[in-house]
Amino acid sequence: MKKNFSIGIDCDDVLFRSNEYIIEKAQEEYGFDPPLTIEELVSWGKTGTRTDIIFKYYEDENFYNEQPLYESAQEFIKTLSKKANIYFITATPPEMMSFRAKRLVELFPEVPKENIIMTGRKDKVNVDMLLDDSPQNILDSEAKYPVLFRRPWNSNLSGLIAVNSFDDFLKLFEQIMKSYVALDEISDYANIINLIGPSGSGKTQLADYLILHYGNKYERPVSYTTKVCKDKHYKTVSFEEFKQMEKSGKLLETTVYGKDWYGMSKKEIMKIISNGKVPLILTDICGAIRLSSHYAYIKNVFVKRSREEIIMSILDKDIDNEHKTNRIMSLSAEFKNEEFCDLTVINNDIVESAEKIVRSFN
């Protein structure tokens, strides 16, 4: 491992329970009916709704002294600190900096106190990898690997390198570290193929072509989604049902596009494998990483087109302008995902792209 590899870790809503904790306190203090929930925080900043109450707590020093850590946060940092240089990068108000610094030093003794950086300009901090829940910090970051920590207020962005948990981040980190090590053997056998790429790159069309012409070899598993969808490859469930499936472990991976959630179940994947076929899965890099922790011989294929073609495709989609804007904004970050893939296909000719995939993986 390269111990000089540097990782910047945000504090609020990554290590510390911030918005969740504040909502619990606000509910207790004001007795909202219906109860205030974390799911109502669909964006950051004041919105003119009852969630604006959270901002008063960020001005209270007691909040910084009392806010609890997420479960496993200390073990997470302890594990990472053995493999990389850790920096805490937090946009703490000046008058609260001493309280935040004191708690970080007490709770995470393995991180040197000089590695605590308090700034709102995280784009000016030079680290190899950044973990943050703010979409703007991720989009503006100069880090080689900016990673979004999924929270309700950033679920409108898709295609970014994103994780749902500390375990997901550790798996991603290990995958990045492997890129620094030459592998003696690379297997060409794939029992799962993930198609990864920006919205508008033609993943769905490529998958449909592979199924149509190589149906004896590949099959798309049914995914679960909260989106009302008539596509035979998706089964619509309510948001509550989806989250219950995720909590119970029925979903191996989950991802979000716009405000719609998608997930893949082990049952659907194993059904295809048991029939002697290769599951062909459309997912993002976050989903691919989570799947790789469950199965060996997964191959990730990056489906690529020019930025101009992708933008035209996005503009032609039957989605609202906000979703179109978010997808276009995330393009630069999405192109970085190519580094995590085993194969890239330039999807200008769907026949050539399909044949390249078939030839590459026996």
Answer for the pair 127, 155: CB distance below 8 angstroms, yes or no: no
Whether 110 and 232 share a structural domain: no
Alpha-carbon gap, residue 179 to 255, rounded angstroms: 24
**Is 303 strand, coil or helix?**
strand
Rounded to the nearest 10 degrees, the angle between the axes of helix 350-360 and helix 203-213 is: 70
pLDDT category at 362 given cuts 50, 70, 90 is low
- Give the model confidence (pLDDT) of 307-339 as tens digits: 999 899 889 887 778 778 878 888 888 888 888
Whether residue 23 is contained in a domain is answered as no
Whether residue 272 is contained in a domain is answered as yes
Answer for the pair 318, 295: CB distance below 8 angstroms, yes or no: no
Whether residue 278 is contained in a domain is answered as yes
What integer pLDDT is reported at residue 258 of this predicted model? 64
Whether 244 and 343 share a structural domain: yes
Q: What is the mean pLDDT of the chain?
A: 88
Whether 227 and 129 share a structural domain: no
Whether 249 and 344 share a structural domain: yes
What integer pLDDT is reported at residue 116 of this predicted model? 97
Whether residue 38 is contained in a domain is answered as no
- Give the model confidence (pLDDT) of 69-120 as tens digits: 999 999 999 999 999 999 999 999 999 999 999 999 999 999 999 999 999 8
Q: Which of 178, 210, 236 is the last residue of a domain?
A: 178
Number of domains forming the structure of the chain = 2
Whether residue 46 is contained in a domain is answered as no
Q: Which of 178, 206, 238 is the last residue of a domain?
A: 178
pLDDT category at 254 given cuts 50, 70, 90 is confident
Whether 129 and 213 share a structural domain: no
Question: Pairing relation of β-strands 145-149 and 129-132?
Answer: parallel
CATH number of residue 202's parent domain: 3.40.50.300
Range of 138's domain? 6-16+69-178
Answer for the pair 83, 51: CB distance below 8 angstroms, yes or no: no
Whether 243 and 288 share a structural domain: yes
Whether 79 and 167 share a structural domain: yes
Whether 257 and 147 share a structural domain: no
Whether 234 and 334 share a structural domain: yes
Whether 84 and 168 share a structural domain: yes
Whether 209 and 340 share a structural domain: yes
Whether residue 301 is contained in a domain is answered as yes
- Give the model confidence (pLDDT) of 212-251 as tens digits: 999 899 999 999 999 988 888 899 999 999 989 988 888 8
Whether residue 62 is contained in a domain is answered as no
Whether 243 and 206 share a structural domain: yes
Rounded to the nearest 10 degrees, the angle between the axes of helix 321-329 and helix 307-316 is: 160
- Give the model confidence (pLDDT) of 189-202 as tens digits: 558 999 999 888 99
Neighbouring C-beta atoms of residue 241, cutoff 10 Å: 12
What integer pLDDT is reported at residue 43 of this predicted model? 80
What integer pLDDT is reported at residue 181 of this predicted model? 45
Whether residue 199 is contained in a domain is answered as yes
CATH number of residue 160's parent domain: 3.40.50.1000
Q: Taking residues 160-183, report their average pLDDT.
A: 78
